[in-house]
Structures are given as structure tokens and as C-alpha cells.
Chain A
Amino acid sequence: MSDEPAVEAEGLVKRYGKTTALAGLDLSVPAGTVYGLLGPNGAGKTTAVRILATLLRPDSGRARIFGRDVVTEAAAVRRTIGLTGQYAALDEYLTGRSNLIMIGQLSRLTMDAAKRRADELLEQFDLTAAASRAVKTYSGGMRRRLDLAASLIGRPRVLFLDEPTTGLDPSARALMWEIVRQLVADGTTLLLTTQYLDEADQLASRIAVIDDGKAIAEGTPAELKASVGGQRLLITLATESDLEAAAAALVPFTAQSTKSIIANGPARLIEAPVIASDGLATEVIRALDAAGVKVSDIAVRSASLDDVFLTLTGHKAEADDPAPETGQPSQTVKEPVA
């Protein structure tokens, strides 16, 4: 085994009319790992996966799967990949087993091998009991599992999972996570897109944060969290008028890589990414007191990927995020010149 990356992309660009779906995406996914593409709806995740899975040609840039170009060597690439999209791509009218056998045969297995592999996967994904039922009678979770089984039938070395748990209930989601972990244990390289930060955090060993068609940050979940300071400081003030003074007093504590302190006026709340240190809370209180700011509540918590996303992009990762109840959006207070 060489150190050749399983997936490599350089400067992928894809435009649809005036919309730019990808604006120069670079990626490098080490073999045998789970790599997360994290970003909100419309960030370009699905476009990226479609290009890597040979379904779409990039306008410029290039991508390789184990060294094979996805455009010029598409046929060779298709022999090494599996794809599970956002919607279960199955024949509704066939049974679960027939679907798998069909995909197996189209993946160049003999009839016998396709049957054996289908039964093996049905067993593995807990679908044996439903194997001879038409797929249209399946629940959402069962469809996703069958769809995943279908993409594994040809034993792909690289598997693309495009939002594998979107729309699933928590128990079906947990089951999918379990399956994904098993796959990695078997040595499959996984490229997973998700808009759920906890999902990326749970499953991926490396993450690229994507926004507006570009990777804006890349690293392990721990590195990404550390890049926003590792800790978050949440302070509730006694009076709203102290917000400016409080934000200014907090600047010395904020993480170097980030400049943003978030202040929510009506809630009298300040949130700041800070570098973890002993006695941090005490020092913050002293600094605020020296600035004449009255504090009602203070909390320090570990940064989550949500914070990473918010800090990097200035907006939340997950779609349909409700605006603050007061109807007034939170404002970002930029650090004054240091």
C-alpha cells in the first residue's frame, strides 16, 4: 500500500449559469479514513461528490480517485467507487434483494456472486426479514440501509455518502453511524457530506468546512475546535448598555485565530471564543469589573463544530436556523485595532 491519497481534488470549479456551485475546491482524502465535507445547504457539497463520482464534469480543475482521473479515466474510477446519494436510488417496485442483485450484476458480478453478496449485505444491514418485500413498503431508515448496501455490492475502495442521515429519525441515524463505523473498520475510504456538525464530529477523522463552493478550513475535529480557541465564553450582562464595554474588555482573552465576539443585545448575551487557561473565568470577571461591567452569569464550555462554523463563516451551519426570538439578529462585534 502506498501513501497515495484515495481522493484528490485540485481547484474544482463548477458553474450553473450565473451560480457558482464550486469555486476552486481542493481536497485530499487519505486512504482508509472517513473524511467529512461539512457545510450548509447550497455550499457545493453535493456538486463536489457528483464530480468525484463521475456524474458531473468540472468546468475546470481536476480530481483523481486512487490516481485515476474522474474525467479521462471515468470507467476505471467507476470500478473503485460506490455512491449513496441523498435520496434512496432504488427501484421501488423490486424487492430489496432483487435491487441488490441487479446492482451487483451491473457492477460486473456474475449472477451467483451477486446473489451471495446480496444475501451477505442484507444480513449485515439487518434487512433479511424484508428482503423479499417491494422497496416501496420500506421505511425511510430501511431504504437508506438498502441504498448503502447497494453501493457496497461491488466492494468499492472509496465510498461517497451524500448526507446519509438527512431526514432520518434519531434511532435510524444512530444505526447508520454504526454501519459507517463498521465500514471504516473494513478499510473502506469514506467521503461523507453532512450539514450536521455532530455527525462530522462523530464519524470523520478529518473535516473540510465548505462554504460558497470553497473549503474554508480543513483539519481534524480537534484541530478545528482548537482553531477557534478551544473554549467558548458565555456571559450574560446585567444591563444591555454595557455590551460595547464588555466586548472591548474581552478582546485580550480571545483566540488569536479568530476576531469575532458575538453580542446579542436584547438577550444581554456575549459569546466569545477564548484560549483555555487556568483561572480564565476569574480573570475575565476581574477585567469586566475593572471596565465597570456588571455580570449576571458566566459560563465556559468547550468549542463545538457549530462554533467553528459560526466563527469561520459568520452564519450557522444547519439550515432553517430560527432567528433569535426577539426578532433581532445577533450582531458581530469586530475587534478594535489591537
Chain B
Amino acid sequence: MTAITVTDLTDRTPFTQFLGDVWVLTKRSLARIRREPETLSDVTIQPVMFVLMFAYVFGGAIGIPGGGNYHAYLISGMLGMTLAQTAPGTAVAIVSDMETGLIDRFRSLPMARAAVLTARTIADLLTQVIGGVVIAGVGLAIGWRIDNGVGDAIEAFALALLFGYAFTWAGVCLGMVLRSPEAAQQTGFVIFLPLTFISSAFVPTQGMPGWLQPVAEWNPMSSLAAACRQLFGNPNPASAVHVWPAQHPELAVLCWSVGMLAVFAPLAVRLYQKKAN
């Protein structure tokens, strides 16, 4: 065995070490995508399928109060759903790492402890960017257009990604409390399906029964869809709904996202540390 000089990086500050560790672990998650691109189906094939089904199967039967093209209406809702729906995937990845003991190994290394979770959420944020691009692409193909300025459009995507990132931390928490990847998958489905469907993501809230309308109107998914519609210049029937989040959708998305991050990120870190006992 040849002796090699092991360069110790202990002179790095804790923060640069944290960034270095996050980078190493983010690369790890991305390497997996490179080796198995099919893991990206939830931000590529699946959203394309959903867009096409909603546009051509349900679309004709859905009227938009105040008029407007359903295809143009649909895309903002799909953007929110696609980004939020990556959260169960986050949970599955976390549970799998727990199960294989990889997280235990990370914990026994002289690395920054917060890096494991942070890297996971950054890798998932990058897959969300792919999802956003795919949705925009398929949208453009079916007749969706950005009718406002570029600045507004960038703001819409940025809001959507912030929103998606907040959901990723919810996914991390979910992964921490569940025991198997299967349970994470199923629980994610049970939580996120109603969350997306009881909203104005695909259907205007005006047509829902009176008791359900408030639920849909206050659903963060509705706020995101309305905010994006407003910023893209697409039909936005929620502007006629006189509840606070429908009237101030951008601010509502910001509040929901920051609120979720403030709750779920510290909770995730806490759960991660508690797993040690």
C-alpha cells in the first residue's frame, strides 16, 4: 500500500464546509438522475400527460367565468401541481436513505449535519426547474402564451419555484416521520391529490358547491395558480372572487411559502437530529 498525503480540509470555515458538503451531496442526487433518467418522469412525462388530458379531455367541458381560453388558463395550475407534486418524491428519497443506513453513515462523518437535508432540497429544486421548463414548453405547444412582460413572467416562475421549494421541505418532514418508501409514496398521494384538485388549479372555484368554495379559495395551490395567471396575463377568474387570497394572490403565495418554510425547514432539521435518539 503506497502512502499518500491526505489533505485535510479542516482549515475551512464551517460555512464553506457546509457549502462544500451540500455541493457533494447535490451532485450525488444529480448523478442518480443521470444514471436513471426515468426518475425524472414526475417532472417530464407525467405533467405532459396531465396537460394533454386536461386540455383535450376535460377542457371542452370546463367553462371559465368571464371567458377565456382553457388551455391558457390550465398551464398555471399545472405549474403549481407539477412543482408541489415533487414533494412525495423528496419524502421517498429521504426514507430510502434512512432505510439503507446511508444517513447514519453521513451522521458518523465529520461533515456539516444540515448539509444532508439541504442538498436533498436543492437537488429537488433543480428537478422542479426542469418541470417548469417542460410545462412551459407543452403549454406553448397547446396555445398558452405569456401575454405580459418578461419581468412578470420571471416573477411568476420565481414564485412557483419558491412555492415548490417550500413543499420540498414539507416532503422532507414527511420522509422523516414515515417508515418505508411505500408509505411515503402513498401518504404523499393522499395529501397532495386533494390539495391540487380542491383548488382553482384546473377548474374555477365558482362552479364548486358553496361549502367547498372557501376551502378551494384559501388553498395555497389556488393562490399560486391565480398569481401566475395574473403575471402571465392569462384568464384569471379568481380576480372576481372577493376573498383576500384571490385578490392578493402574489402576496398570498409569498405568505404561504415563507410560512411553510418557517415551519417545515426547522421541523425537518429537528426531526433529523431527533432521529439520533
Contact = CB atoms under 8 A, between A and B. Distances in A.
Interface of A: 50, 53-57, 75, 78-79, 81-83, 85-94, 98, 102-103, 105-110, 112-113, 116-117, 120, 124, 134, 150-151, 154-155, 186
Interface string B237-257: 000000000000000000000
A278 B131 CA distance: 83
Contact of B105 (A89, A94, A117, A120): A89
A146 to B, nearest CB: 12
Given A55-B107, A78-B109, A105 B102 contact: no
B110 A124 contact: no
Nearest to A59: B277
Interface size, B (range) = 20 to 34
Given A102-B24, A107-B111, A155-B6, 20 more contacts: A50-B104, A54-B107, A55-B276, A56-B277, A83-B104, A83-B108, A85-B101, A86-B101, A90-B102, A93-B31, A105-B20, A105-B24, A106-B109, A108-B111, A112-B7, A113-B4, A120-B1, A120-B2, A124-B1, A154-B109
A154 to B, nearest CB: 8
Nearest to A150: B105
Contacts of B31: 93-94, 98
A78 B28 CA distance: 22
Contacts of A108: 8-10, 17, 110-111
B9 A78 contact: no
Nearest to A54: B108
Contacts of B100: 87-90, 92
Contacts of B9: 108-110
Interface of B: 1-2, 4-10, 17, 20-21, 24-25, 27-28, 31-32, 35-36, 100-102, 104-111, 276-277
A102 B28 contact: yes
Contacts of B109: 78, 103, 106-107, 154
Question: Considering residues B21, B27, B28, which has the most beta carbons from chain A within 10 angstroms of its beta carbon?
Answer: B28
Contacts of A78: 108-110
B118 to A, nearest CB: 13
A108 B9 CA distance: 5
A256 to B, nearest CB: 44
B102 A113 contact: no
B4 A116 contact: yes
A128 to B, nearest CB: 14
Nearest to A93: B32
9 contacts: A82-B108, A94-B35, A98-B31, A105-B21, A107-B109, A109-B8, A109-B9, A117-B4, A154-B6
- Give 8 closest A-B pairs by Cβ, nearest first: A89-B101, A89-B105, A93-B32, A78-B110, A83-B108, A79-B110, A106-B111, A108-B9
Contacts of B107: 54-55
Contacts of A186: 1
Contacts of A110: 7, 9
Contacts of B17: 108
B102 A91 contact: yes
Contact of B7 (A50, A86, A113): A113
Nearest to B116: A106
Contacts of A102: 24-25, 27-28
A86 B104 CA distance: 11
Contacts of A109: 6-9
Contacts of A106: 21, 24-25, 106, 109, 111
Contacts of A155: 6
A120 B4 CA distance: 9
